[in-house]
Structure 1
Amino acid sequence: MKTVDQYHKWVEWSEEDQAYIGKCPDLITGIHGDDPVQVFKDLCEVLEDVISHFQGTGRELPKSKTRPMMEVA
């Protein structure tokens, strides 16, 4: 498993911003765009850069704390 796969990522529509927002709260606040598929791809690239920066500077990555919400029927 790649390090980036340990972190929960998602894309959702924001009425307020009128854009798709890509989030990974354990590592970054988010990115935005008009195409949800492209936003997810961009989010993954940004996260890879963040992880590389942490590793390159010898900083410890934060533990993944955010988990998807489970819907209860």
Structure 2
Amino acid sequence: MKPGDQYLKWIEWSETDQVYIGQCPNLITGIHGDDPVVLYGELCEVIADVINALQAAGRELPPVTIRPMVANAG
């Protein structure tokens, strides 16, 4: 398994912006695009780049949050 595989990521449509938004809350705020399938691949590439940069700098990776909405509930 690649390090990026463990992080929650998703694609959703933004009615306001009229584009798809790709997010990985533990690593990046988001990217956008017109095609959700292409965007998911780009999101995975960006996540890999962020992980590589963190590791090259000797920094720890952020903890994996499987369900961030549960952590914020209650």
Q: TM-score when scaled to structure 2?
A: 0.88
Structure 1 unmatched ranges of 5 or more = none
The structure richer in helix per residue is 2
User: Aligned partners of 2:37, 2:8: CA distance in 1, in Å?
Assistant: 16
Paired positions, count:
69
The Cα RMSD (Å) is 1.4
Percent identity of equivalent pairs:
65
Please give the alpha-carbon distance, in whole angstroms, between the structure 1 residues aligned to 2:54 and 2:5.
16
Residue 58 (structure 1) aligns with: 58
1:66 Cα shift?
4.2
Structure 2: which amino acid aligns with 1:20? Y
Cα contact 1:23–1:29 (8 A) shared by 2: yes
Aligned structure 1 segments of 4 or more residues deviating by more than 6 angstroms: none
8 A Cα contact 1:27 1:50, kept in partner? yes
Where does residue 10 of structure 1 map in the other structure?
10
Please show how residues 1-73 of structure 1 align to structure 2 within 5 Å. Answer: 1-67=1-67
Could you tell me which runs of 5 or more consecutive residues in structure 2 were left unpaired when the two chains were aligned.
70-74
